[in-house]
Amino acid sequence: MNSYSSLDPLTHIRKQRLDPYHYTISLIQEGTRAGQLEQETVEEIQVQLMSLLAELILRYNAGESTSLKTETAQRILLSILYSMDACMLSLNGPEEALTLLKKGRVREIYDRGVALVASCREESERLYEEIMDTMLDVPIVAYHSTLNSLGGCFRSYDLIFDARDIRVDIDYPLLFDDMQMEGIFYIRQYLQKLQMETEFCRHFNIADVKKLLHNYGRVYRINYRESLINVFEIVLTNAIFSVISGSKAVAVRLSWDQYKLVKGKLSGLDPIQCRRMINQAIQDMMAMMGIDQPGWKEYISRFTPLLLPRLLSALESNCLDNVIILDQEQKQLPHMLLDEGRRMDDDSFRSLINKILSCSDREEKAAIITASTHSIGDFVDVLEADCMFGEEYRAVFSILGDMELSLLARIVFVDEIRADPAGFTLEKDVMRYCQEQWQTEYVGFLSGLSKKRLRSVDQYIHASIQLS
């Protein structure tokens, strides 16, 4: 079916007034308004339509009755118009459609339309069979129940008396679905898009896809098997970010390092730059996957306006891991393990400080310190080396375990602990003046912790006091 959206300079027909979902009626109305259709012609069309309706009513009743319930008659009339719409939309524009109408060939339009509807049904059945042969092996209830329901809809589809309606339960959501369409043409577009989405997902290892869905459910705290989620959208999102991370192959499982790389690339970008990056990643992804069908490219490219607001919101709230779905194992950062002994030599320490200073990314700095320091002495030396600023301290403290935090507390609150070892607790107001920048940042970090966490750190403090 063709769709039109521009003003035709040659006629007075305003194409934007034409409704592609009720085309014949809107064309008659617009044609009348524009003076292209005489009232006589419209009446003649009405007479022919009524005649066609009467014929179908008799056929519906197998010639045994001349009356019908109004809603049944309306359904048949809508069915007639549905077929006529199919014919009219297949023509080369509203001008050709109007010409046919003016000739008063309602029957011809209808017959041609019925043939098109029948052809669409055959095509849809073929599409369905193809999808069944290649369907995804994913444990999504809605996906399978929808395919089951679609299997039965072709047999029961009544293209003469009820073309506009088709009995099917479609629960599985597409990424982009045209819900205004009806009848078999709706089914065909649904199947075409489902096939595209399925084929895209089949480019990836199915075990990876299943794992991704499992992680998605974990992140959003939903039973993903029972939820009405679109597999293609979830797979596509991770695939796009795998490309942004610089990966040579498009993948759906991203490592923590890839995640950090993506986060680094996206931070500081304005919305326009973000959009540009996503669009480029989509183009690159399609090139890498060999996707060159125009329909596919158009469908996938429509994803950017959907993804961008989510991405921008996630970047602002520092929860990019709600958009890029990671494995649980990869997401968990190892806590730093600090030892009372084992200090590094001076050269190594200087080298470490230089490395930290040359790094501008907060997360990366934290990662470097995590990997390189193993003793509390070295760790405090790094904190005191003026190689970090503001939020960078917090990034480091956030990866410490409770035990490590307690070691730092014993340094920062040495006087308070000495004064009242049994009564000391971090739950009291711990804001105090500190000489060292890192201590000020540490105290600030503690004030943001929950009472439960503070109690846990307290326990380590008291445990170590008892041991000493």
Partner 1 sequence: MKNMLDIFRFHTGGISELTLNELLKTNEESKKYRLMLTAADARGLMETRNQAISSHGRVELGIEPVKKIIAAFCTSPYIHQTEYARTMSQLIEVFYYMKNETEDRIGDDELIGIMVEFFNNSCQGSLELLRDREMDRYARQFRSDIQARIKTLEGDER
Number of other residues whose CB lies within 10 A of the CB of residue 348: 12
Closest distance of CB 11 from partner 1, Å: 21
Closest approach of partner 1 to the CB of residue 177, in Å: 21
DSSP H helical segments within 135-205, as ranges?
Answer: 141-156, 183-201
Q: Which is nearer to partner 1, 6 or 66 (CB)?
A: 66
Provide the residue type at 357 as one letter.
Answer: L
C-beta of 79: minimal distance to partner 1 in Å?
13
User: Is residue 29 within the footprint of partner 1 (CB under 8 A)?
Assistant: yes
Query: At closest approach, how far in Å is the CB of 105 from partner 1?
Result: 18
Q: b vs e for 238-266, b when ≥16 Cβ sit within 10 Å of the residue's Cβ?
A: bbbbbbbbebeebbbbbebebbbbbbeeb
Round to whole Å and give the CA distance between 147 and 141: 10
**In terms of CB distance, is 46 or 447 closer to partner 1?**
46
CB atoms within 10 A of CB 80: 25
Give the list of residues 6+ apart from residue 282 with CB closer than 8 angstroms, or none: 240, 300, 301, 303, 304
Which C-beta is closer to partner 1: that of 163 or that of 194? Answer: 163
Give yes or no for a contact between 339 and 375, defined as CB atoms under 8 angstroms apart.
yes
Q: Which is nearer to partner 1, 61 or 273 (CB)?
A: 61
73 vs 68: CA distance, rounded Å:
6
The span from the CA of 17 to the CA of 25, in Å, is 11
Query: What is the x/- site pattern for partner 1, positions 45-74, by CB under 8 A?
Result: -x--xx---x--xx--xx-xxxxxxxxxxx
| Nearer CB in complex with partner 1: 164/362 | 164
Q: Which of 1, 15, 20, 22 binds partner 1 (CB under 8 A)?
A: 22
Shortest distance (Å) from residue 81 CB to partner 1 = 7
User: What letter does residue 400 receive in the DSSP assignment?
Assistant: B
Binding mask 402-441 for partner 1 (x = CB under 8 A): ----------------------------------------
Q: Which is nearer to partner 1, 26 or 192 (CB)?
A: 26
What CA–CA distance (Å, rounded) separates 50 from 440? 86
Binding residues for partner 1 restricted to 325-354, rule: CB under 8 A? none
- Using CB under 8 A, pick the residue from 27, 37, 52, 81 that binds partner 1: 81
Contacts of 322 (CB under 8 A, 6+ apart): 219, 220, 314
In the bound complex, what is the minimum distance in angstroms from residue 68's beta carbon to partner 1? 5
Q: How far is the CB of 141 from partner 1 (least distance, A)?
A: 22
Binding of partner 1 at residue 28 (CB under 8 A)? Answer: yes
CA dist 461 and 428 (Å) reads 14
Residue 155 within binding range of partner 1, rule CB under 8 A: no
Residues that bind partner 1 (CB under 8 A): 19, 22, 25-26, 28-29, 46, 49-50, 54, 57-58, 61-62, 64-74, 77-78, 81
